[in-house]
């Protein structure tokens, strides 16, 4: 989740400003960048329990400890709730999940180095405080009531609202982790093509990264329970955006969609005001019940854009949101996958050729099958494994064409190797953990905290 806005921006006087917010993200190819975000669970090394905010080894202490590495603290109501440095941010999800939002960089080598540097810092602080960090899609052991809440006003608003619109929204907030990549576009047509390709192929990412097979210490019947959770969180702000494949899709069509996403809050004078379930369209007309007579600013629109949770989200860039969290190499692999598919024109054209004839039913069936079956799900005349191998071939060619080498001369395609191994085997990370659970771990998930921690 983002930090509180620093400015309220300009008053909104026309719909054109709402559309301009998205179109202003257009950049020439030379300015395209890569931003990687990932979340991880924080746990007590002795008890394996989630870490609360307060206390000598709490989340607050971790944030404060990281300031020794040059991070600047951001406070809300006198508590450190985020950090910032050199275009990067560290922030907290509602259940204490620790998130790095990386700076926009030019290559996968750079974004992967950034992730590695961050993990070395949090591990150093964690070793001093007796806490560990785990990358998975869903908290494997602890129930909701053992999950602490972070001291942010916006989370309390969401906590109260979520049960009104879905059964699993609280789990989404407190017990899931993801990795995502943020990528640029050159203009409206480029955005639309990239959005369509990435929406169609999010289930492939979900299958390759599926790593949430446990709930409260037992198998839950899913490969990606995190992906399943999104099906019963809030239908007004989640899902695959079927309108994106219709004629007339563009920045304005997405703005129209976002106008119909129910609001959560309005930020004023350092406080979040509860506007949950209210209409941004009413806000435009000065009829928002939470702020009668007031109209929105560009900062309000920017905030509202962060409260829609489709599988690919448009802001001033595109966010790929389909993957479970995981270990370091998979955190580097997700940006590699989508940069390979979207940042080389030949690869983008090939990816579009792959998906352009899929029907809405095809896309819906793929999305529905993957959370339980991952790469073994049936699709077309084959399986999602077959589809993933084709997708990886296109992505690898796209990365090779970028010719972005590191100091040793290796290009970015090597970051796909971990996904290639998964695809070749046909077994996602969740299946590996289930085999351990039923074998060496003797029916316990506790060993995951030692064997798979960062």
**48-72 tens-digit pLDDT:** 999 999 999 999 999 999 999 999 9
Tokens 């989370």, located at residue: 155
| 318-324 and 312-314 strand pairing | antiparallel
Q: Give 268-300 as a DSSP string.
A: ETTEEEE-TT--HHHHHTT--TTSTT---BHHH
Whole-number Å distance between alpha carbons of 391 and 395: 6
Dihedral of CA 35/39/44/47: which sign? negative
Look at the chain and count its residues: 454
Q: Give 166-203 as a DSSP string.
A: -SSHHHHHHHB-EEEEEE--SSHHHHHHHHHHHHHHHH
Does residue 143 lie within any of the structural domains?
yes
pLDDT for residue 8: 79
What's the Rg (C-alpha) of the chain?
A: 21
Give the pLDDT mean for 201-209. 98
CA neighbor of 71 nearest in space, from 4, 118, 105:
118
CATH of the domain at 228: 3.30.590.20
* Cβ atoms of residues 312 and 249 within 8 Å: no
Does residue 289 lie within any of the structural domains?
no
pLDDT for residue 409: 72
- pLDDT, one tens digit per residue, over 69-85 is 999 999 999 999 999 99
- pLDDT, one tens digit per residue, over 141-151 is 999 999 999 99
Q: Token digits for 202?
A: 């999010």
Q: Classify 54 in phi/psi space as left (phi over 0), alpha (psi -120 to 50) or beta.
A: beta
pLDDT for residue 1: 55
User: In terms of pLDDT, which residue wins out, 240 or 178?
Assistant: 178
Does residue 414 lie within any of the structural domains?
yes
In the predicted structure, residue 426 carries a pLDDT above the cut 80: yes
- pLDDT, one tens digit per residue, over 245-262 is 999 999 999 999 999 999
Does residue 2 lie within any of the structural domains?
no
Does residue 280 lie within any of the structural domains?
no
Does residue 318 lie within any of the structural domains?
yes
pLDDT for residue 406: 73
* Beta-ladder partners of 133: 42
Does residue 61 lie within any of the structural domains?
yes
- pLDDT, one tens digit per residue, over 121-135 is 999 999 999 999 999
Q: How confident is the model at residue 4 (pLDDT cuts 50, 70, 90)?
A: low
**Helix 188-209 crosses helix 360-373 at what angle (to 10 degrees)?**
30
Q: Which strand (E) or helix (H) includes residue 149?
A: none
Mean pLDDT estimate for the chain: 96
* 443: three-class secondary structure by DSSP: coil
Does residue 19 lie within any of the structural domains?
yes
Task: Give the list of residues 6+ apart from residue 156 with CB closer than 8 angstroms, or none.
Answer: 149
Phi, psi of 151 (to 5 degrees): -80, 65
Whole-number Å distance between alpha carbons of 325 and 305: 23
- pLDDT, one tens digit per residue, over 171-202 is 999 999 999 999 999 999 999 999 999 999 99
Q: What's the structural domain count of the chain? A: 1
Phi, psi of 293 (to 5 degrees): 85, -15
Whole-number Å distance between alpha carbons of 287 and 53: 37
In the predicted structure, residue 234 carries a pLDDT above the cut 80: yes
pLDDT for residue 9: 85
Least confident of 163-177, 190-204, 275-289, 398-412: 398-412
72 burial (CB, 10 Å; 0-12 / 13-18 / 19+) is exposed
In the predicted structure, residue 6 carries a pLDDT above the cut 70: no
pLDDT for residue 2: 59
Dihedral of CA 44/99/155/205: which sign? negative
Q: How confident is the model at residue 33 (pLDDT cuts 50, 70, 90)?
A: very high
Domain that holds residue 314: 15-261+308-446
């Amino acid at each position: 989740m983002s930090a509180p806005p620093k400015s309220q921006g300009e008053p909104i006087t026309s719909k054109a400003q709402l559309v301009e917010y998205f179109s202003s993200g257009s950049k020439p190819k030379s300015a395209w960048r890569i931003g990687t975000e990932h979340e991880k669970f924080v746990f007590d090394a002795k008890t394996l329990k989630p870490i609360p905010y307060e206390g000598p080894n709490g989340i607050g202490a971790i944030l404060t400890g990281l300031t020794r590495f040059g991070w600047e603290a951001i406070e809300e109501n006198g508590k450190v709730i985020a950090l910032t440095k050199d275009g990067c941010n560290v922030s907290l999800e509602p259940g204490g999940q620790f998130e790095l939002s990386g700076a926009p960089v030019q290559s996968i080598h750079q974004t992967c180095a950034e992730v590695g540097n961050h993990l070395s810092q949090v591990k150093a602080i964690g070793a001093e405080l007796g806490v560990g960090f785990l990358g998975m899609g869903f908290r494997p052991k602890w129930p909701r009531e053992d999950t602490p809440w972070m001291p942010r006003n916006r989370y309390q608003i969401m906590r109260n609202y979520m049960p009104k619109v879905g059964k699993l929204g609280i789990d989404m907030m407190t017990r899931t982790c993801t990795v995502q990549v943020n990528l640029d576009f050159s203009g409206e047509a480029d955005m639309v093509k990239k959005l369509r390709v990435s929406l169609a192929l999010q289930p492939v990412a979900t299958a390759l990264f599926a790593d949430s097979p446990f709930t409260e210490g037992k198998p839950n019947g899913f490969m990606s329970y995190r992906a399943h959770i999104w099906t019963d969180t809030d239908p007004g702000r989640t899902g695959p955006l079927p309108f994106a494949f219709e004629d007339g899709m563009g920045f304005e069509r997405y703005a129209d969609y976002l106008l119909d996403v129910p609001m959560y809050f309005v930020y004023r004078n350092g406080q979040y005001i509860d506007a949950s379930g209210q209409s941004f369209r009413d806000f435009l007309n000065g009829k928002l019940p939470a702020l009668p007579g007031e109209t929105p600013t560009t900062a309000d629109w920017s905030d509202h854009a962060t409260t829609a949770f489709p599988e690919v989200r448009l802001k001033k860039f595109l966010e790929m949101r389909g993957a479970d969290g995981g270990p370091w190499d998979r955190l580097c692999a997700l940006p590699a996958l989508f940069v390979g598919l979207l940042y080389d024109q030949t690869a983008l054209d090939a990816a579009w050729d792959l998906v352009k004839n899929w029907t809405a039913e095809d896309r819906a069936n793929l999305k529905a099958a993957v959370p339980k079956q991952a790469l073994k799900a049936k699709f077309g005349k084959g399986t999602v494994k077959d589809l993933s191998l084709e997708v990886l071939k296109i992505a690898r060619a796209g990365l090779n064409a970028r010719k972005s080498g590191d100091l040793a001369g290796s290009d970015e395609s090597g970051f796909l190797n971990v996904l290639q191994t998964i695809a070749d085997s046909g077994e996602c990370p969740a299946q590996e953990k289930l085999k351990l659970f039923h074998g060496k771990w003797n029916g316990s998930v506790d060993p995951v905290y030692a064997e798979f921690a960062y």
